[in-house]
Amino acid sequence: MFGIFGHPEAANMTYLGLHALQHRGQESCGIVSTEGERLYSHRAMGRVQAAFDSATLGTLRGDRAIGHVRYSTAGGSHLKNAQPIGVDWARGSLAVAHNGNLTNFESLRERLEARGSIFQTASDTESVVHLIALSESTDQEARIADALRQVEGAYSILFLDERRLIAARDPLGLRPLCLGVLQHEGRTVHVVASEPNAFDLIGARLVRDVAPGELIVIDESGLRSSFPFAPAVRKMCLFEYVYFARPDSILEGASVYEVRKALGRRLADEAPLPPGDGDTVVVPVPDSGVPAAIGLADRARLPFEMGLIRSHYVGRTFIEPQQSIRHFGVRLKLNPNRAVIEGKRVIIVDDSIVRGTTSRKIVKMVRDAGAREVHVRISSPPTRWPCYYGIDTPTRAELIASTHDVSEIARYLTADSLGYLSLEGLVDAVRTVEARARATTSAAASDPSAADAPAPDTYCHACFSGNYPVPFSPASGPRHLRMLP
């Protein structure tokens, strides 16, 4: 998500911000803007660059806007589910953009439909709109807070009406949300985004993360903040650090790139290479495996090589030749660099293994290119549980680590060895980088306690541990969640 208030080219700025956030969703995109009188909207399937041209952006008038790139975890891949969702109602117009998943959506929808609400989409985000419409509060800010108190799960969420931009983050802080500013003609322009790398592209400066449970209102009078929700222990998603966020982002004060290198160094200590002879090279699975591979190679004192070359021109669809080509799908994205892996012991470093099918194809592809041995190292713990907070993971039955131990997975991959990072190692590495970042800030310099590392239980690691921070109950949880073993 991206939002901006107070810039005459708000739609263009939002377009650029969404372009920087394209890695978070490539299914559909949209922008809603306003000049203070009405809302203007454009949504489309596909990527940002294809969905918007100068003529389309010219129709999105005003100095304030919000935008969204979608990666569906609730509701199908249809234009009707694209965001921001915009509605007209008795009190004006409202647009909503949401990152995360509401775990009590089904029960909310049943209750709302029983009261007469008619849903136009299959998205869980729409339930928030209906809750706002039913609120008896007279102020928009209070109606939004009232609605969000009734939802459960993960939400970093933006609202735009004719007069203000409102941003909120759930009390657990499961999904990231950042606040920034830029100066335009002597005026302070406020911006919000899922990741701060979106600020870099438009020349904005990161101010801070939106705090868990915080609600921010931005209007002509400036910015004001409140905490209208019951306090809770922070549960920032660890998978953001492992894979989802872009490596040049800063989350909770920590560089994602530095975190991933730290994971690689810790992985080298926890899963050393078995004894053997011959030249050894560390090869990342690009792009997400690159920083961890750098860290592992550095700690193990082994050469880092780009033994897999990624194509950056792969679209969403392609025509597969009728003649069978071995590993066609993987080869479309990756190709082995035979010059650096032939005859070598190759350590393949990746961020995670989900079903295992892609990793198996990569291992076989590297062997076919002449590798003498292939060892796989993963910079996160085994993914054993599905995520219900905004990461689209398969069902538990489809996660290979839920039914196989490490040795069995290694045999399936046809790898000579397989090593994962422990959950303790992951948490400790993230905490260490976060603490180091706090220690270097001016606030930490004047207040030593500001440099303290977050407590070990302040992260969500449900996909690794099965410990879900939002409890699911038959009374409130979606039906598909009640079936968890």
Residue 350: strand pairing partners: 378
Q: Quick one: pLDDT at residue 445?
A: 46
- Work out the average pLDDT over 151-177: 97
* CATH number for 17: 3.60.20.10
Report the range of poorest mean pLDDT among 1-10, 111-120, 143-152, 343-352.
111-120
For the chain, what is the domain count? 2
**Do residues 211 and 289 share a domain?**
no
Q: Is 288 annotated as a binding residue?
A: yes
Structure token digits, residue 29 = 């995109």
**pLDDT computed for residue 22 by the predictor:** 94
Stretch among 109-113, 158-162, 194-198, 315-319 having the lowest mean pLDDT: 315-319
* Confidence grade of residue 95 (pLDDT, cut at 50, 70, 90): very high
Q: How far apart are CA 262 and CA 292, in angstroms?
A: 7
Q: Is 53 annotated as a binding residue?
A: no
Last residue of a domain, one of 402, 425, 448: 425
Structural domain contains residue 16: yes
Please compute the mean of the pLDDT values over residues 209-219 and round it to a whole number. Answer: 97
- How many Å apart are CA 391 and CA 349, to the nearest integer? 21
Q: How far is CA 108 from CA 76, 147, 148, 267, 477, in A?
A: 18, 11, 12, 43, 10
Whether the CB-CB separation of 135 and 142 falls below 8 Å is answered with: yes
Per-residue tokens: 7: 């810039």
Asked whether residue 456 is domain-assigned, the answer is no
What pLDDT shows up at residue 479? 32
Question: Could you tell me if 225 and 301 lie in one domain?
Answer: no
Residues 208 and 259 in one domain: no
HEC assignment per residue over the chain: CEEEECCCCHHHHHHHHHHHCHHHCCCEEEEEEECCCCEEEEEEECCHHHHCCHHHHHCCCCCEEEEEEECCCCCCCCHHHCCCEEEEECCEEEEEEEECCECCHHHHHHHHHHCCCCCCCCCCHHHHHHHHHHCCCCCHHHHHHHHHCCCCECCEEEEECCCCEEEEECCCCCCCCEEEEEEECCEEEEEEECCCHHHHHHCCEEEEECCCCCEEEEECCEEEEECCCCCCCCCEEHHHHHHHCCCCCEECCEEHHHHHHHHHHHHHHHCCCCCCCCCEEEEECCCCCHHHHHHHHHHHCCCECCCEEECCCCCCCCCCCCCCCCCHHHHHHEEECHHHHCCCEEEEEECCCCCCHHHHHHHHHHHHCCCCEEEEEECCCCCCCCCCCCCCCCCHHHCHHHHCCHHHHHHHHCCCEEEECCHHHHHHHHHHHHHHHHHCCHHHHHCHHHHCCCCCCCEECHHHHCCCCCCCCCCCCCHHHHCCC
Q: Could you say which of 375, 406, 425 is where a domain stops? A: 425
Per-residue confidence (pLDDT) for residue 73, from 0 to 100 = 60
124 and 205 fall within a common domain: yes
**pLDDT surpassing 90 at residue 237:** yes
184 shares its domain with 295:
no
Same domain, 327 and 363: yes
If we measure between CA atoms, which residue out of 353, 409, 356, 360 comes closest to residue 382?
A: 353
Q: Are 383 and 417 within one domain?
A: yes
- The whole domain housing 414 covers 255-314+322-425
- CATH number of the domain to which 391 belongs: 3.40.50.2020
237 is in an annotated binding site: yes
Does 387 appear as a known binding residue?
Answer: yes
Q: How far apart are CA 113 and CA 382, in angstroms?
A: 40
pLDDT band at 472 (very low <50, low <70, confident <90, very high): low
242 part of a folded domain: no
183-203 mean pLDDT = 96
**Residue among 470, 477, 485 at smallest CA distance from 154:** 470
What would the pLDDT profile of 431-448 be if each residue is shown by its tens digit? 999 888 888 764 444 444
Q: Per the domain annotation, does 432 fall within a domain?
A: no
Q: Does residue 460 lie in a domain region?
A: no
Identify the pLDDT of residue 310.
92
As a whole number, mean pLDDT of residues 397-409 equals: 96
Check whether residue 221 and residue 289 sit in a common domain: no
Residue 452 lies in a domain: no
Look at residue 466 and tell me if it is in a domain: no
Q: Terminal CA-to-CA distance of the chain, rounded, Å?
A: 34
Average pLDDT in the 274-300 region? 93
CA geometry: angle at 144 spanning 470 and 233, to 5°? 30
**Rounded mean pLDDT, 9-26:** 96
Cα–Cα distance for residue pair 311/126, rounded to 1 Å = 37
188 and 271 part of one domain: no
Are 200 and 298 in a shared domain? Answer: no
Token code pair at residue 144: 């939004």
End of a domain among 425, 440, 457?
Answer: 425
Q: How confident is the model at residue 392 (pLDDT cuts 50, 70, 90)?
A: confident
Binned at pLDDT 50, 70 and 90, residue 78 comes out as confident
Is 229 found in the same domain as 262? no
Residues 262 and 336 in one domain: yes
Residue 350 labelled as part of a binding site: yes
Report whether 29 belongs to an annotated binding site.
no
Q: Is the pLDDT of residue 327 over 70?
A: no
Q: How confident is the model at residue 3 (pLDDT cuts 50, 70, 90)?
A: very high
Picking from 209, 217, 262, 208, the residue whose alpha carbon sits closest to that of residue 236 is: 209
10 Å Cβ neighbour count for 329? 14
**Is the Cβ–Cβ distance between 238 and 60 less than 8 Å?**
no
Residue 316: per-residue pLDDT: 45
> Mean of the per-residue pLDDT values for the chain?
89
**Residue 438 placed within a domain:** no
